[in-house]
Amino acid sequence: MNIFHFTAEKRNGDMVSLEHYKGKVLLIVNTASKCAFTPQFEDLQKLYLTYKDAGLEILGFPCNQFGGQEPGTSEDASAFCQLNYGVTFPMFSKVDVNGEQALPLFQFLKEAAPFRGFDESNINEKLLKAMISDKNPEFLLGDSIKWNFTKFLIDQEGNVVQRFEPSDEPASFVKEIERLLR
């Protein structure tokens, strides 16, 4: 099984088969507009502009499960991204990434790329773990998405290659993207 077996809702309500992205390298990201990691939109957009012609597609999925940091509508989230960060990559409808209402795509992604654990030597991950312990301790368990801006790298055949946590800056995995684009 791969991600091409799934569909997702565009912000306008249309359903799209992820098979539409067959042959592309994908970066699938759960996003939020009021998060400490929100400035990653700038680097994600730079990645997109740099590599889109080579076959990279970034898919953003707004999510309000982490500290209520995406309180508006799907349209509000898209407008925020475009106005504040110039985002031109596809933004989808708001989704849940954990729990009973989680989008099946994210259930699959979590199973295909389990959580690697927190790197306690990284101050950002240590702080993230403390924040999750305080606000959403249930997300510390298992392979759940821990916070906004968890990123999944997918190859051209729809296979999940790697999971990057919120503290992983987009620039830190450019080499992995370039390797898949060859």
Q: Using the Cα atoms of residue 116, residue 120, residue 121 and residue 126 in order, give the sign of their dihedral.
A: positive
- The continuous run of DSSP H or E covering 104 comes out as helix 104-112
Which member of 35, 44, 56, 180 is catalytic?
A: 35
Residue 142 is given by DSSP the state T
- 35 catalytic per annotation: yes
**Which letter, b or e, does each residue of 9-45 get, where b requires 16 or more Cβ atoms within 10 Å of its Cβ?**
bebeeeeeebeebeebbbbbbbbbbebbbbebbeebb
Q: Which residues are part of the catalytic machinery?
A: 35
